[in-house]
A and B are shown apart, each in its own frame.
Chain A
Amino acid sequence: MTGVIDQIGGMLAQAGYPAPMSVLTLSHYLFVSAAMFTLGMVGFLTRRNLIIMFLCTEMMFQAAGIALIAASRFWLNHTGQSFVIFVLTVAAAEAAMALALVVLLFRKRESLSAEEWAEMKG
């Protein structure tokens, strides 16, 4: 396992001062965020409950957030961190719309399953 992580870590050189990330390297964060992104994707494609599907996309958003913050620390600039603030804002806006749509759906069909919504085919 550590072998693989060292290999990924070798792809990028660490920028200079202040002190480099030592114990946890960029590759650890990349690994966590990639795992979150994949889990979110798999969840979105396999689950049929609309709220869970939405939470899966949220998880993918936050995976990107982790990658951005780790990269921001790695490159020693603040761009990634400011990006994350915007990502959170957009995620909040999407959450508001998702909940509105879910409430609308529940009023119509008394169910949260995505399969209730298959009027159009072909």
Chain B
Amino acid sequence: MIERIAWLWPEIILFLATCVVMVLGVSPRLALRRQCAFVSGLALFLAAMVAIATGPMATSPWPQMVPFMKGTAGFVGLLTLLVLAGTVDREVDRDQELGRGFAALRANRAEFYAFFLFSMTGLMLCASADDLIWLFLALELTSLPTYVMVTISTRRSRSQEAGVKYFFLGALGAAIFLYGFSLLYMGTGSTDLGAISTQILAQAEGGAINDIAMAGLVLSLIGVSFKIAAVPMHFYTADVYQGAAASVSAMLAFVPKAAGFIAILLLVSTVGWQWGVADTAGVSLGAGHSLPEPVRLLLWVMAVFTMTVGNVLALLQRSIKRILAYSSIAHSGYMLVGVIAGPQGARFIDNGVAATLFYLLSYGLMNVGAFAVVASMEHKGEEADDLDALRGLCRTRPWLGWTMVICALSLLGFPFTLGFFAKVPLFTSGIAAGEYALVVILGINSAIAAFYYLRLAALPMLEEPVGEAPALTRVPARIVAGVLSAGAALGMVLVAGFFMERAARAAVPGLFDGTHASQSATDQIARSGERRADE
């Protein structure tokens, strides 16, 4: 148990930084209180670097995924922090200038950063989880602080409504996956993911997977779908993203989603992609390359409905934040395609899990920009959230306008943007896994998505500005974050190969490598890794 500490230094750094931020926040000197954001950023950067330097975690079901996801979390977290910084501070400062009285709920600038760091700690802990108890605590640590952040993000009652909705549905989701975990334990007698995997394989070889364990796995996946905003638990998304400040929505679109996908990959790795279509005896182990039928069917239905519902509802919205919220639902559906396809081969374009991981990284980078544009604009003291605010933005506010154009095109998957290179592997891995129907539905959905993304791109670029330019908020870091995000959406293309290779290596399972289908892939990548080490 104690040897795991060696892999947990990123989380320890983040936790210590959280404590420092909390203490700084109650300092009597304003100059010190203002350092919270810098300390948080420094800690995130350090944690990401330490995670990458530490290397694969031997006890995890996905040993190589641990540094990859922690690094992704750290760097996308830094970008998110640029947008988040000042969400609460500026309002506190403005209150003091206007001579408004002390409001306990509002005077919490340090807590805001501390909760953000707690949430990032939870995300990194998710990545290093190898036990159901650990996974449960990590998922809760990711979510609980976000409920508070949503509620305190703005002064309006909308944020409080969003917080209430988010919290109650989050508690429901947590209860469902907790019950799933308990059934999984009841069916296998262990909470260690490796031991569960061994037990499930033993059961399958002796006849069939225990019904209780299978029910537990299905319930866990349904519960975790709350975190990724997939269909049975998606209905909170639009309201919460709209009610929270745009900066907090930018975080909600990445942090819980990444934690959810890590949890799904960990849970699914206990059964593995090594099952064929069940024959009459129900034994099909080692006969194929897909998930066991109940799990595959669940994820398949989830993916199809998530994509379609997200895209169709996004067409009907006028609020930019609601469009981005529904599109974030749709993106979860896309990524589920990669999970269903599974790690099929050594090549990146055949490997669905690698595609999902790379998409998660790309989505995190390009999505921040779109939210940063909304967070930067003000209209009569409120966020300029209506589509009209984008009209002619490229002329009035060129930095913001072009950021929106590039991020929207990249989210659409327009050729030669990052989004394109992220989406193509989802198609190819789906084809490699023989999921043709799913790939066709993915294609149709990408076409539907073009309607609203092209509108987001065309309004700033082609339309004439209406009235005067929208006012800017007093946080210039947000524009920087937006420009960085747009730069990543274009510039990452040049170095995409590097990250794709990392993702392909991250997607090598450590668990179900016995005599089964994935063995060749594992070997090939392990060999290529050794070659690289030799050089």
- Check if B242 sits within 8 Å of A12, measured CB to CB: no
Contact partner of B185 among A61, A71, A118, CB < 8 A? Answer: A71
Q: Nearest A residue to B171 by beta-carbon distance?
A: A57
Q: Is A97 an interface residue (CB 8 A)?
A: yes
With A57-B175, A97-B167, A98-B171 known as contacts, the answer to whether A105 contacts B160 (CB < 8 A) is yes
Contact partner of A64 among B133, B178, B239, B316, CB < 8 A? Answer: B178
Contact partner of B168 among A54, A83, A104, CB < 8 A? Answer: A54
Q: Nearest A residue to B190 by beta-carbon distance?
A: A79
Q: Is B289 an interface residue (CB 8 A)?
A: no
Q: How far is the CA of A11 from the CA of B239 in the complex (A)?
A: 43
Task: Give the A-B contact count at a CB cut-off of 8 A.
Answer: 131
Q: How far is the CA of A67 from the CA of B190 in the complex (A)?
A: 13
Contacts of A87 in B (CB 8 A): 136, 178
Interface string of A72-99 (1 = CB under 8 A from B): 0011010110110011001001100110
Q: Is B181 an interface residue (CB 8 A)?
A: yes
| Residues of B contacting A: mostly | helix
Contacts of A86 in B (CB 8 A): 133, 136-137
Contacts of B164 in A (CB 8 A): 50, 101, 105, 114, 117
- Check if B133 sits within 8 Å of A71, measured CB to CB: no
Contact partner of B178 among A61, A79, A117, CB < 8 A? Answer: A61
- Check if B317 sits within 8 Å of A122, measured CB to CB: yes
- Check if A60 sits within 8 Å of B161, measured CB to CB: no
Q: How far is the CA of A118 from the CA of B133 in the complex (A)?
A: 36
Q: Is B413 an interface residue (CB 8 A)?
A: no
- Nearest Cβ in chain B — how far from A111, in angstroms? 12
- Check if B172 sits within 8 Å of A44, measured CB to CB: yes
Contacts of B165 in A (CB 8 A): 117
Contact partner of A68 among B172, B182, B210, B243, CB < 8 A? Answer: B182
Q: How far is the CA of A119 from the CA of B362 in the complex (A)?
A: 33
Contacts of A70 in B (CB 8 A): 186
- Nearest Cβ in chain B — how far from A114, in angstroms? 8
Q: Nearest B residue to A90 by beta-carbon distance?
A: B140
With A12-B210, A86-B133, A90-B137 known as contacts, the answer to whether A64 contacts B160 (CB < 8 A) is no
Which of B187, B189, B190, B242 is most buried by chain A, counting CB atoms within 10 A of its CB?
B189
Contacts of A11 in B (CB 8 A): 210-212
With A71-B189, A101-B151, A122-B316 known as contacts, the answer to whether A60 contacts B176 (CB < 8 A) is yes
- Nearest Cβ in chain A — how far from B142, in angstroms? 12
Contact partner of A108 among B157, B185, B238, B239, CB < 8 A? Answer: B157
Interface string of A99-122 (1 = CB under 8 A from B): 001001100100000100111101
- Check if B161 sits within 8 Å of A119, measured CB to CB: yes
Interface residues of A, CB < 8 Å — how many? Answer: 47
Q: Is B191 an interface residue (CB 8 A)?
A: yes
**Of residues 127 to 171 in B, which have CB atoms within 8 Å of A's CB atoms?**
132-133, 136-137, 140, 144, 147-148, 151, 157-158, 160-165, 167-168, 171
- Nearest Cβ in chain B — how far from A47, in angstroms? 11
Q: How far is the CA of A114 from the CA of B238 in the complex (A)?
A: 17
Q: How far is the CA of A122 from the CA of B168 in the complex (A)?
A: 19
- Check if A119 sits within 8 Å of B178, measured CB to CB: no
Q: Is B414 an interface residue (CB 8 A)?
A: no
Q: Is B408 an interface residue (CB 8 A)?
A: no
Q: How far is the CA of A101 from the CA of B148 in the complex (A)?
A: 9
- Check if B212 sits within 8 Å of A12, measured CB to CB: yes
Contacts of A74 in B (CB 8 A): 186, 189
Q: Nearest B residue to A104 by beta-carbon distance?
A: B160
With A83-B132, A104-B160 known as contacts, the answer to whether A53 contacts B168 (CB < 8 A) is yes
Q: How far is the CA of A41 from the CA of B178 in the complex (A)?
A: 13
- Check if B148 sits within 8 Å of A97, measured CB to CB: yes
Q: How far is the CA of A97 from the CA of B171 in the complex (A)?
A: 11
With A64-B179, A104-B151 known as contacts, the answer to whether A83 contacts B144 (CB < 8 A) is no
Q: Is B36 an interface residue (CB 8 A)?
A: no
**Of residues 203 to 219 in B, which have CB atoms within 8 Å of A's CB atoms?**
210-212
Contacts of B132 in A (CB 8 A): 83
Q: How far is the CA of A57 from the CA of B169 in the complex (A)?
A: 9
- Check if B187 sits within 8 Å of A12, measured CB to CB: yes
Contact partner of B171 among A33, A77, A94, A119, CB < 8 A? Answer: A94
- Check if A120 sits within 8 Å of B242, measured CB to CB: yes
Contacts of A119 in B (CB 8 A): 157-158, 161, 243
Contacts of B316 in A (CB 8 A): 122
Given contacts A33-B179, A57-B168, A65-B182, 7 further A-B contacts (CB under 8 A): A61-B178, A67-B183, A94-B171, A94-B174, A101-B164, A104-B151, A120-B161
* Contact sample, A vs B, 27 pairs, CB 8 Å cutoff: A11-B212, A12-B210, A12-B212, A30-B186, A30-B212, A33-B182, A37-B175, A60-B172, A61-B178, A63-B179, A67-B179, A71-B185, A75-B189, A79-B133, A79-B191, A80-B185, A83-B181, A86-B137, A90-B140, A101-B151, A104-B151, A104-B160, A105-B160, A108-B157, A119-B243, A122-B238, A122-B322
